[in-house]
Structure 1
Amino acid sequence: MTESRLAREIARTLRHERELAGLTQAALAARCGLSQAGIARIERGDRLPGLTTAERLLTALGRQLRIEVEALDSHLDAALDEMAGTVLAERVEDLRLDRIIEALGGLPYVLTGGMAALLQGAPLPVDAVEIAVRRRDSPQFNTFLDRSHAQRWNARWQEWGGIHPGPEEPGEHRWRTRYGELRARMCEELPEPVEIRLGDRTYPVEPLVEVEVTDRRTAELLGRYRRRLTAAGAAPGGSAG
């Protein structure tokens, strides 16, 4: 297997998306005009595909390629160390979680992603409130977005605004509102939450075991956090264990 971190990332992503689509390697090969053996090599991490090949594979799965950059591993470690030294209530206040929840009114929601992990004891770097919302509640969600003067993230132009803010539109479900940044996962039914109490408020939160299935980025950070605990000789117990 190649030692390329990027090859491992592509391998994991391609396998995950193919399995979500319910396709075998042979079926995907037939869709995109590649060989089953070639796809198997990519999914094992033995081969790093070119951009054209990666786009063909993802297009066949109804997905598109997006290029992002992130902090180096050492910077991620520093961010985890910094977060571990902060008070949870202060971080929740900085993210304006309560203001956003109050502004949502009676909209049914469950906290997800990094926000859910944070409330369950994992000191992860989180820069936005993340929620799950049912698709059938989109009209009510739209009312909140209008009332909060929300600007949706335009991934094409890498800026806020310029596109319809409604959650029924395709693209990233990410908004800048008057209360703070909000990201949403639209779903048919809300995940079954656990109740997390902080101060005088109780939050409906997606369990960590589910977060690690639905949010790949948070799952990677959780894995990194636990490995660091283990390397430091601490048992990764508590809610984040």
Structure 2
Amino acid sequence: MTESRLAQQIAATLRRERTTRLLTQTALAELAGISQGAVARIERGHRVPSIPLVERVFAALGLQLCVSVERLDAHLDAQLDDLAARPLADRLLDLPLDRIQQRLGDLPHLLTGGTAALLQGAPVPTDAVEIAVRWRDSTRFTDWLEAAYGQRWNERWGDYGGLRLEPEEPGEHRWRTRYGEIRAHMCDELPEAVEVRHGDRSYRVVPLAQVELTDPRTAALLTRWRARAGARQ
């Protein structure tokens, strides 16, 4: 992940406090004397805003920020514990999985990464639908991204936009679309798939063992989860 966790925490806190007060972004911007776009950028959480700006926005809500510290990566343990305590159907509500699956239509793909792990019972946090796509289907995938009003993650900006959509172009294979966020694992051939069912839906996914071999991020989360589960036994 390239975003700052601090930026995401500020974004989530601001959204919560603003919506609790039934304020729109425009209304809060007027109270703080800034633009609606500035409020929107903070709430997207893709980059850390300046401290004076954050203080100004929260002051408009009658609030101020405080600072604390915690053990490194403690948030990951909290996320893993939270997900493990929730039913799978509840965990899937955090992802726009069915909406994106329906819209992908006949584009050849498999679910992989954290999405595949989640569907196979592993309580790993993931904030985007992850798919495996063949390089030879790149043009079709690009056409789909264009139709879905996709914007590509721009690491230099710390935000979406400013880059060409095509997977062949340099940059992370990560896009924001009208249906939700999506990540692509480009490959020469799609790996063997297994089918998992949840409720009345079935999903073609990369087997968990293969995910661990090809996706270091998900593998690290799975190792962390198993270590925590083993420590409780």
Shorter chain as denominator, the TM-score bin is 0.5 to 0.7
Q: Which residue is equivalent to 2:212?
A: 212
Per-residue deviation, residues 150-179 of structure 1 (Å, max 9, x unmatched):
000011221100111122212100000001
- The answer for unaligned runs of 5 or more in structure 2 is 1-70
Shift of 1:213: 1.0
CA distance in structure 2 between the aligned counterparts of 1:113 and 1:75, rounded to whole angstroms: 20
Q: Superposition pairs for residues 1-241 of structure 1, below 5 Å?
A: 72-233=72-233
Which amino acid in structure 2 is aligned with residue 172 of structure 1?
E
The two structures, once aligned, show a CA RMSD in angstroms of: 1.2
Shift of 1:96: 0.9
Shift of 1:104: 0.7
Per-residue deviation, residues 16-60 of structure 1 (Å, max 9, x unmatched):
xxxxxxxxxxxxxxxxxxxxxxxxxxxxxxxxxxxxxxxxxxxxx
Describe the SS at the equivalent of 2:175: strand
Shift of 1:124: 0.9
CA distance in structure 1 between the aligned counterparts of 2:128 and 2:189, rounded to whole angstroms: 22
Between 111-120 and 90-99, the greater mean CA deviation after superposition = 90-99
Describe the SS at the equivalent of 2:223: helix
Between 89-98 and 134-143, the greater mean CA deviation after superposition = 89-98
Which amino acid in structure 2 is aligned with residue 217 of structure 1?
R
CA distance in structure 2 between the aligned counterparts of 1:196 and 1:105, rounded to whole angstroms: 18
CA distance in structure 1 between the aligned counterparts of 2:169 and 2:92, rounded to whole angstroms: 29
CA distance in structure 2 between the aligned counterparts of 1:183 and 1:209, rounded to whole angstroms: 20
Normalised by the length of structure 1, the TM-score is 0.65
CA distance in structure 1 between the aligned counterparts of 2:196 and 2:150, rounded to whole angstroms: 28
Which amino acid in structure 2 is aligned with residue 208 of structure 1?
L
Between 108-117 and 72-81, the greater mean CA deviation after superposition = 72-81
Which amino acid in structure 2 is aligned with residue 184 of structure 1?
A
Describe the SS at the equivalent of 1:94: coil
Per-residue deviation, residues 124-148 of structure 1 (Å, max 9, x unmatched):
1111100000011112111210111
Aligned residues: 163
Query: What percentage of aligned pairs have identical amino acids?
Result: 63
CA distance in structure 2 between the aligned counterparts of 1:212 and 1:177, rounded to whole angstroms: 27
CA distance in structure 2 between the aligned counterparts of 1:152 and 1:99, rounded to whole angstroms: 19
Describe the SS at the equivalent of 2:93: helix
CA distance in structure 2 between the aligned counterparts of 1:156 and 1:226, rounded to whole angstroms: 35
CA distance in structure 2 between the aligned counterparts of 1:170 and 1:132, rounded to whole angstroms: 18
Normalised by the length of structure 2, the TM-score is 0.68
Per-residue deviation, residues 67-100 of structure 1 (Å, max 9, x unmatched):
xxxx923221111111112222233233110100
CA distance in structure 1 between the aligned counterparts of 2:179 and 2:196, rounded to whole angstroms: 22
